[in-house]
């Protein structure tokens, strides 16, 4: 298993500096990660640093609460794509999902998918820690219907991150229709491998370097 290609090397801390962002870009090129995932303010820097590599630029939208209007999320996505993003990780309207306003959730996702318009892959962050299993299943179905390419477990800033049982449930629900990104709390090779074996196609983690180093020792 080449675990490096599963990893979205992530830096989403509010105090992240340009120097730290530059460093994770350097690491991503060195270790062959799939993408670097950052906040929108760093999109231009990341896309510039990765321009001569195969590593992709991933930017979060509506992060971390998902509570912005759909028009704001669409604007964020448009600007991120203009700045070089080719992957968008958007947080869904979690409150609307819990209220059963599924049309609002679908419209929210669709606004970003429409803005991406094939120029960027859209992953929907459903923040599993706040949802019942039935709500997770519904979130998956809505994401597929709205045209998303991935369902992502977590922002990494909720009450818990990725859990194996959630990845298994998402894969059972989604089948092979869209990808799954597990994110939050993935800090070692054994956890990363378990997530992949449970059905994750991508891993969001700030511990990518450590995970790859540990994989070489197995």
Active site residues: 89, 152, 181
The answer to whether 151 touches 181, Cβ cutoff 8 Å, is yes
Here the tokens at position 146 are 């709205």
Instruction: Classify 139 as helix, strand or coil.
Output: helix
Residue 13 burial (CB count, 10 A): 12
CB 159 within 8 A of CB 130: yes
Tokens 């950052």 sit on residue = 38
Q: Which residue has the tokens 């049982």?
A: 165
Distance CA 170, CA 199 (A): 8
């Amino acid at each position: 298993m080449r675990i490096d290609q599963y990893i979205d090397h992530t830096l989403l801390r509010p105090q992240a500096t340009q120097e730290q962002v530059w460093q994770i870009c350097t690491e991503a090129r060195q270790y062959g990660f799939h993408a670097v995932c950052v906040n929108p303010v760093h999109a231009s820097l990341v896309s510039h640093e990765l321009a001569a590599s195969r590593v992709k630029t991933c930017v979060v939208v509506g992060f971390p609460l998902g509570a912005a209007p759909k028009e704001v999320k669409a604007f964020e996505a448009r600007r991120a794509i203009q700045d070089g993003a080719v992957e968008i990780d958007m947080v869904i309207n979690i409150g609307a999902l819990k209220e059963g306003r599924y049309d609002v959730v679908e419209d929210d996702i669709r606004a970003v998918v429409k803005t991406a318009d094939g120029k960027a892959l859209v992953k929907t962050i459903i923040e599993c820690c706040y949802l019942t299993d039935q709500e997770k299943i519904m979130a998956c179905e809505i994401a597929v219907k709205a045209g998303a390419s991935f369902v992502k477990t977590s922002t990494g800033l909720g009450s818990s991150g990725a859990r194996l049982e959630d990845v298994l449930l998402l894969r059972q629900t989604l089948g092979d229709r869209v990808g799954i990104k597990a994110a939050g709390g993935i800090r070692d090779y054994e956890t990363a491998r378990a997530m992949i074996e449970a059905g994750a196609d991508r891993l969001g983690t700030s511990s990518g370097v450590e995970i790859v180093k540990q994989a070489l020792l197995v």
